[in-house]
Amino acid sequence: MTLPVLIPVNRLEQAKGRLAPLLTEAEREELALITAETVAHAAGADAVILTADPRVIERMAGRYRVLAEDPAVHGLNGQLERAIARLQADGTVADRLLILHADLPLVRGWTIATLAEEDDGPGCVVMVRSADGGTNAMLLHPPGRFRLAYGPGSFERHAAAARAAGLRVVESPNRELQLDLDTPADVAALLATARGQQTAAGHYLLAIGADRRLAAAQA
């Protein structure tokens, strides 16, 4: 059974603002591209990239399906809901959809497969909570039963909305999906392990000396 994976990717100039104390603007943009590619690669043929950024479109087109954001729709939640409606209309999405953030450096294909196994059938929502209370991953079975509410503290809002719609909520302990790269502390957590250092994001961050910058900031 295929599982369409919708991956929203922000405009690069707006990405990773909280990493400004650690990385330059160009470095933040490159890191955003690297992690987006990691997530898309993990989703493989099921990946659908939602973006308005021409560089992201150029990098992803030809390898993954790319949906351009609707210029008449404002905000991430509206863009995601519009994209879901488009994917349902063309038959890409039927009964299940995974919404996955684009800044998850540890995700692999088996990570997504493991998450999918936690879906116990129709009427279930499987969610992964980020360290700051966001929603890094959300498997909807089916999609469209409640309004999306991404933003600070979104995990609890999503869980409450899903339960109000009569859905069962499963909080996944999937550690590969819990770590996103929003803050210098997240970068430090990634680089603290050999596994994190061996990711594409880890290789890049070490190459530009992010580990040395973190150490200097803590000295």
Mean pLDDT score, 86-110: 96
- pLDDT(219) > 80: no
CB neighbours of 219 closer than 8 A, spacing ≥ 6?
none
Report the distance separating Cα 179 and Cα 105, nearest Å: 7
Q: Backbone dihedral region of 92: left (phi > 0), alpha (psi from -120 to 50 degrees) or beta?
A: alpha
Report pLDDT for 167: 98
Report pLDDT for 129: 97
Reference 99, options 83, 118, 121; nearest CA is: 83
pLDDT tens for residues 117-163?
A: 999 999 999 999 999 999 999 999 999 999 999 999 999 999 999 99
Report pLDDT for 218: 86
Worst-scoring range by mean pLDDT, 108-112, 114-118, 203-207, 215-219?
215-219
Report pLDDT for 1: 55
Mean pLDDT score, 43-72: 96
Both structure tokens of 12: 């690069």
Mean pLDDT score, 169-188: 96
Mean pLDDT score, 167-176: 96
- pLDDT(20) > 70: yes
Report the distance separating Cα 189 and Cα 180, nearest Å: 10
CB neighbours of 211 closer than 8 A, spacing ≥ 6?
191, 205
